[in-house]
Structures are given as C-alpha cells and as structure tokens.
A and B are shown apart, each in its own frame.
Chain A
Amino acid sequence: MSRDRTIDGTIRLNADHVVAARTIVRRDILSQVEGPGSPQQIMLIGDRNVVGRSPNSDIQMRSNMVSRRHLSLVRVGGEVYCKDLDSHNGLLLNGIKIHKATLKDGDTLQIGDIVFVFYKGVQWTSS
C-alpha cells in the first residue's frame, strides 16, 4: 500500500489508509490507587455511573466503608460531575468533603478507604 506524498512531505491518506488506521478515542478514567481492588483502571462508559458496594452499582467496590450507593458520576456537555449520594462516610475531593463537583484532570476522589484519581480524556487506541 503506497502513500501519496506531496512536495512538502505531507502524506495524503486515501480511503484504504483510513480503513486500515486504528480508531483513537478519548475516555475518562478512574484510576483506583488505594483500597480493596487496587490498583485498577476503570473506564467511564455511558453518561451516568453509580459507584457503591451494591452489586447493582455500575462500578462495584468491595469495601465495608463504602455505602451501597455512594456516589454518582454524570457526564453533561463533556464535563463529568461527581455527587455524593448521601453516603455514610462522605465524598472527599482532594481531601475536602464535598457534596458535588465538576471533576478536573488529576483530581483525587476518596470514598471510605478507596482512593481514585480521575483522568480526563485519556487517549485509547483500538484497531
């Protein structure tokens, strides 16, 4: 498969190249860095995720310090909002107890003994 190179060196892709190219997508990630189950990377899929101890949670955490429905993560207009669902131990954002917040890249979220780092728009490549 040859590529067309212009005089300035730019490669011009034709349709074959596009089909062959890998799809690059950006995903928001919760990286669990402390607590039962860590370390693990959790990709946020869909517009709403509930994190809790309940098996019905979208993201289940196996810790007795986590409420059955502890926090929600909702995506609106490209932003991810976290909200405490009246949990027993509360929600800490960068060490401060909050009710709700817009998450920024690198924020630390703590629920009970579980600590996540939020990464926004991490690049994933799939073929």
Chain B
Amino acid sequence: MDFFVTFWGVRGSIPTPGHATHRYGGNTACIEVQIEDTLFILDGGSGLRMLGADLIRRNKDVHAHMLFSHSHWDHIQGFPFFPPAYNPKTRLEVYGTKEGDQKIYSLLSGQMQDRYFPVQFSDLGAVIGPAHLGGGGKQIGPATVNFLHTEHPGGSMAFSLECNGKKIVYSTDNELDLRLKNREATLENPLISRECPDDFIEFCSDADLLIADGQYTDEEYKTHINWGHPRATTLVDLSKSAGVKQLAITHHDPMQNDELVDQKIDLCRKRALYINFEGDIFGAREGITLKI
C-alpha cells in the first residue's frame, strides 16, 4: 500500500509569491497524503487553495481528514479558499487531540466571521465536523495516526502516519534546538553532534519520510532563538539518530529566495556528510508528489 505525498505549500509565516520564490513556491503549509482512497490534509495554509482546485479537477466527492499542527495563520489561512468546502457532497473531519477538543475547529470558523471574510462558516456547503485523535494510535482508514506536542509559541503538534510497515512524519513549527540535550554546547560549536530528545527520536524512528520545519540556517538562527523554528541542520542530526530514510525540509523562511533555500539545503547535505547520515535530503517544493 503506497503513500502519495504531495507538497502544496512549503513556505513559513506568510505567503511569498513572486519570481524570487518561483521554484520552491510561496504558498504556506499544506501537504496532501493519499493512502488508497483515504485522503489526509496536513495543515491548511495558502497551499490548500491549490489542493482544493486539484481535488475539483479529479472529479470525485471529497472526504478528507484534516490534521492541523496548530492554528497560526500560515497553517489555516487557506481554508476559506478551499473550493471543496463549498460543495455539499464534501465531508471534512477536523481533528483535535482529545475528545471534545474543538480548538482548531473553532478557530477555522472564527477566521470566517464577517469582519474577516464575506462567507460565513455556517454557510459552507460541506459537512464539516470535529473529530479527535485520542490518546494515541488513532486508526483512520488504513493508517494509524499519532501525534506529539512540539516546541513552538502557543504549541504545535507533529503527526505520524503508519500503514503496512511504512511511516511518514510531519513535524512543522518545532524549535527542536530548544530541546537539545547539549543545547548550549551546540550553540557555541555548531559542528558537534546535536543530541535530540528521546521522545522525538522515538516518534520519528525509522520513518521512510520526515517532513520537517527547517526554517533557518545556523547563521539565521542566531537572531531567531525562541521564534519557534529550528536550524535546518539540526534535522539532519535528528534524522540520523532516528534512522530516517528521507528528509524533506519545509517551512522555508519568507526571506529566503530560491537560491538561499538551495544554499540551506546544501548546508544540510554537507552536515549529512560530516555526521555520516546516508538518507536523502531535499528542500520541499510545491507541486512534487512522492510515492512512499
């Protein structure tokens, strides 16, 4: 059973259209994961609009399981522009963590109040309902879904999807550097091995694909500590420790044009050589579908 993973939005913070970001794309966070007939949507940044247009082109009724890492703008702003949400044949399940947790569901509807948007949430045609992941290991279609709270102002969640021995992890808006066991030493000397927290290594263990927030270079991070995003290079250490096979670095900083993203990925590949990580590393880019 294959996972088809499509990147619809890979930018962090704010949509960044224009020639300078044409290659990687300027839409904010949105990933589609299709496992047989089960559709997962990971985050609903501005990339969600393009996913919606593509779902309309596929000409099938949409039943999607929507997992939002958190409710910051760049992860929910695409929802009012998601064409299937206006179709009465669409079913959208919006997941919180515990039963009764409707925080994300409420915020999606809140951003459509008439002061912000001309169409009210209650006027959407789709059947949109809150759902929950529970304590862990929620079975959704053929996949088992887990979550882990991550390091971000206001909180964020990473998700793992497992099915038939395959596993992908989506971990965005996670300042992993704050939780390194040897954090101070790695700030003084970025070359030394970065000791990642055990819960995160376990959560990502043996993932076929880790899609992770790598917003900053080491140099940029120095002036962005506590902003909620890690050094991209730290993901390489995490990937090595967890036995990740392929690392997709996403949530590119809006100040990074295509060349700067290239340079960031090059730095990660150099670190992979330095610490002997043999998995693939690439910069997530809009419009790419991987088959896992």
Query: A96 and B280: CB pair below 8 A?
Result: yes
Tell me if A98 is interfacial: C-beta within 8 Å of chain B.
Answer: yes
Give Cα A98–Cα B290 distance, bound, in whole angstroms.
Answer: 5
- In angstroms, Cα B7 to Cα A100, docked, is 11
Assess the B289–A100 pair: CB atoms within 8 A. Answer: yes
Question: A99 touching B289 by the CB < 8 A rule?
Answer: yes
Contact yes or no, B290 A102, CB < 8 A:
no
Contact yes or no, B286 A102, CB < 8 A:
yes
Contacts of A104 in B (CB 8 A): 22-23
**What sequence of 0s and 1s flags, for each residue 259-292 of chain B, a beta carbon within 8 Å of any chain A beta carbon?**
0000000000000000000001010011111110
CB distance from B47 to the nearest CB of A (A): 13
Determine if A22 is an interface residue (Cβ-Cβ < 8 Å): no
B4: Cβ under 8 A from any A Cβ: yes
When distances are taken between beta carbons in the complex, the residues of chain A under 8 Å from B290 are 97-99
Q: How far is the CA of A99 from the CA of B189 in the complex (A)?
A: 39
Asked if A61 CB lies within 8 Å of chain B CBs, one says no
Question: A97–B281 Cα gap in the complex (Å)?
Answer: 11
| A contacts with B: majority SS | strand
CB distance from A47 to the nearest CB of B (A): 15
CA distance A105 to B4 in the complex (A): 24
Q: Which residues of B contact A101 (CB under 8 A)?
A: 285, 287-289
Within 8 A of B (CB), among A45-93: 81, 84, 93
How far, in whole Å, are A81 and B291 apart by their CA atoms in the complex? 16
List, in ascending order, chain A residues with CB within 8 A of B291's CB: 84, 98-99
Q: A100-B6, A102-B288 are in contact. List 18 more A-B contacts (CB 8 A).
A: A81-B287, A94-B282, A95-B282, A96-B280, A97-B290, A98-B289, A98-B291, A99-B4, A99-B289, A99-B290, A99-B291, A100-B288, A100-B289, A101-B287, A102-B286, A102-B287, A104-B22, A104-B23
Q: Please report A residues at the B interface, Cβ cutoff 8 Å.
A: 81, 84, 93-102, 104
Residues of chain B at the chain A interface (Cβ within 8 Å): 4, 6, 22-23, 280, 282, 285-291
* Minimum-distance CB pairs A-B, first 5: A102-B287, A99-B291, A100-B289, A101-B288, A99-B289
Q: Pick 28 A–B contacts, CB within 8 A, sort by A.
A: A81-B287, A84-B291, A93-B288, A94-B282, A95-B282, A96-B280, A96-B282, A97-B280, A97-B290, A98-B288, A98-B289, A98-B290, A98-B291, A99-B4, A99-B289, A99-B290, A99-B291, A100-B6, A100-B288, A101-B285, A101-B287, A101-B288, A101-B289, A102-B286, A102-B287, A102-B288, A104-B22, A104-B23
